[in-house]
Amino acid sequence: MEDKKSIKYWSMSSDKVLEELNLTTDGLSSEDAKLRLQKYGENSIKDKKKTSGLILFLSQFKNPIIIILIIATLISAATGEWIDALIILAIVLGSAILSFFQEYSASNAIEKLRAKVQAKTIVLRDGKLIEIPSIKVVPGDIIKLSAGSLIPADGLILESLDFFVNQSVLTGESLPSEKESGIVAKDASMEERINCVFMGTNVHSGSATVMVIETGSDTEFGEIAKKLTLRPPETDFESGVRHFGYLLTKIMLILTLTVFAINVIFKRPPIDSLLFSVALAVGITPQLLPAIISITLSMGSRSMAKAGVIVRRLNAIENFGSMDVLCTDKTGTLTEGTIRLDGAMDFEGQSSDDVFRLAYINAKLQIGMTNSLDQTIIDAKDIDISNVKKQGEIAFDFTRKRLSVIVQDDNKTKMIVKGAFSSVLDICNSVQTRETQKSIDDTTLAKIQKSYADWSNQGIRVLGIAEKIITLKEKYVVEDEKDMVFMGFLLLFDHPKADVSKTIVELENKGVSLRIITGDNRLVATHTAQSVGLKVSGILTGSELMKLSDEALLNKIETTNLFAEVDPNQKERIIMTLKKRGHVVGYMGDGINDVPALYASDVSISVDNAVDVAKESADFVLMENSLKVLNNGIQLGRTTFSNTLKYILVTTSANFGNMFSMAGASLFLPFLPLLPKQILMINFLTDFPAINIARDSVDSEILEKPRRWDIGFIKRFMITFGLISSVFDYLTFTILFVGFKAQHGIFQSSWFVFSILTELLILLIMRTQKPFYKSKPAPILIYSVAIVGAITLILPYVRPINKILDIEPIRPLILIALFGIIVMYIITTETAKHYFYKSKWRDNNVNRKNKRIL
């Protein structure tokens, strides 16, 4: 494979390419594949190297404010204040190490979870077909593709059968492209290379054997990726964090420049003033936010994994917490997913071996799409069809909803069609009775449709079986499916799950409404919905959807929770309409027909045994096809979302109040209220409890409804409780400076202790919307608060640490005064919290149409 880049393989015969590249159709040996993997690397367009620990550690210092602080500290050291400079650098380094270890651990855990649901490919190795992770595919591999396969690499088709590929991700073409072996011109464009497949596309129907030529970054998809920054769409939460970051940046810049300028005007040392100003900016920043988000999402993903939900895209967890509509097919989710064959019936409704034999031949010989339904037919009864020779196939697609095989049977060439009842009946003009064939008149049609309706009303899925004698020819097309003879019915049944009714109620109690979107007929779908306890508020079929304008559907979508007989594009349309109504929509699907809807949804969910393209499109993969597992995942997603917001609310309000107070105090005090190293030590000590918010418990009331990011709410929260904090800060300043005549040593020591204790206690108060004594924090949060609180109280009395930090022992009377202020602060904050949330819920009730409830 040394010169694979130099040949235009699409313009050569497959035999010539095999010869040029020294390959055979027997595939590679395991040893050869191992050597090629070492040479070409893993089959991925992403960076093959994991982010190293060093790079992750250095990224902790990428905050511009931290960089400015380090530069200012170095300047301070150069001017002789090297001891203070070393102390500040040590504190900054300690914070970085704390954040690094948490993120590094989270990153490793995430990688292990993602490996559980990676895409697989069937390859020919050592002369045998085996399944391997797609990232292990190498140039020279012979791979087998079928409907639903995600194409893992660029390659040349060696042989194919009714092979159609969806390559819209590369070409923009919405319709599948037919692919077949052959030769095209050297200068053929990507769209014109009908003998090639490309990485990132997927198989719509049919099957093929392909020789892999290019992998990873060398593929057409990889070449495009090199020119583009491939980034998934920004989630609602990410957008909120970004805008909130802009707000904090503005506050930091104004605060830093103003305080620095005033201190210089008051002729205070410039370096000290700069360090103080920058330390204030660091203090107001929720600098652990990236780490908290990473840790919280990582812990959420690990908890979800234990509950049977593998998270493929971490940022989607926030959307999981916001989801208020869940759309799903019924098979395997509401039902057991184990289809049982109830019988093969003729036109008269009598059991028929002939009808079963036709269904068996169709299921056994088709190779266009591997599916459980055909396997059910094959497993029902073993029939000897060794004398039947297959001559062709018209692959299944989700528009026709039927599959045809052409066979040589009893010296006759027959087309046997199996598919959705109405789809098969539409192409029939006669029916097989016990004695003869006769045309389908109104009476006959009514009898056929009555049988279908009776079975469907019992929840039985009905397929149609048809055949006709045809002339043998080289290729058959969809247009040949006409003038068929209706042979009979195939009856299939899938029992509803026993616990699904309870789960649907639990979802409704959590504010998540269920919509069923299925390709099955409305009678079966209605029966299944009713049997699992879903109250059907409205039904729309695919044919009715086609007649509805977008505006009409927008009005009708809220009162409709059952969609039947829909195709993949209609599923996508339903999802998009729900999103236009302001819902956060989840979609659960496992087939190639679900891919458009998975892409359109806010929260895409698949299952472990889904087709590759569905799993690759999904944000979450369920290890068990169950609404119960999904229900647990929603609760964990909301817990993760809640703890992330909890950190933002607590730290921004506390930091805003403290730093605003110190900035103001520096204007009238004859000394700095805190030294830069003391400010940074406060941040360092309070980081330990703050980082454990990721592990905190969440009140059950918070988990009852979907939650969404609301930057306006966070601003109001920050200003309200920040100002309350500032009022008590200035009260403390007054008592210390005026009442106790405290000078810089005692003042700074007292304020150092007061700041940490109030931030720790506010953390416990503001972590819940209930009175703090009615909500139990996680044990690790209580322990970390208690330990840091104890350390804070003894620091002023411990040598030489108190000398290093320039803090002094605090007189008992001052401590008593500080504790008195803290008690008043707690009571005031608790009271304000009660009225703040009371007014918030009142506002939400007034505007019920607003789904962005926090």
Catalytically active residues are 329
Cα 777 to Cα 321, 464, 763, 765: the distances in Å are 21, 60, 10, 10
Residue whose C-alpha is closest to residue 180's, from 208, 154, 139, 143: 208
- Quote the CA–CA distance of 451 and 488 in Å, as a whole number: 10
- Extract the tokens encoding 375: 């396997």
Place of tokens 């819920």: 841
Per the CB < 8 A criterion, the answer to whether 323 and 706 are in contact is: yes
DSSP three-state, residue 597: helix
- Quote the CA–CA distance of 523 and 534 in Å, as a whole number: 14
Helix (H) or strand (E) holding 637, with range, is helix 627-668
- Quote the CA–CA distance of 322 and 708 in Å, as a whole number: 5
- Extract the tokens encoding 183: 């030769």
DSSP three-state, residue 126: coil
Residue whose C-alpha is closest to residue 299's, from 118, 100, 109, 95: 109
> Using CA of residue 327, residue 330, residue 334, residue 337, what is the dihedral sign?
negative
- Quote the CA–CA distance of 463 and 480 in Å, as a whole number: 20
Residue whose C-alpha is closest to residue 608's, from 326, 315, 309, 339: 309
The Cβ of residue 640 has, within 10 Å, a number of other Cβ atoms equal to 27
Helix (H) or strand (E) holding 546, with range, is helix 542-547
- Extract the tokens encoding 638: 């909301």
Cα 264 to Cα 71, 157, 267, 283: the distances in Å are 19, 75, 5, 21
Kindly report the backbone phi and psi dihedral angles of residue 817, in degrees, each rounded to the nearest multiple of 5, phi listed first.
-60, -40
Written as one string, the DSSP assignment of 722-779 is HHHHHHHHHHHHHIIIIIS---HHHHHHHHHHHHHHHHHHHHHHHT-SS-GGGSPPPH
Per the CB < 8 A criterion, the answer to whether 588 and 326 are in contact is: yes
- Quote the CA–CA distance of 127 and 25 in Å, as a whole number: 9
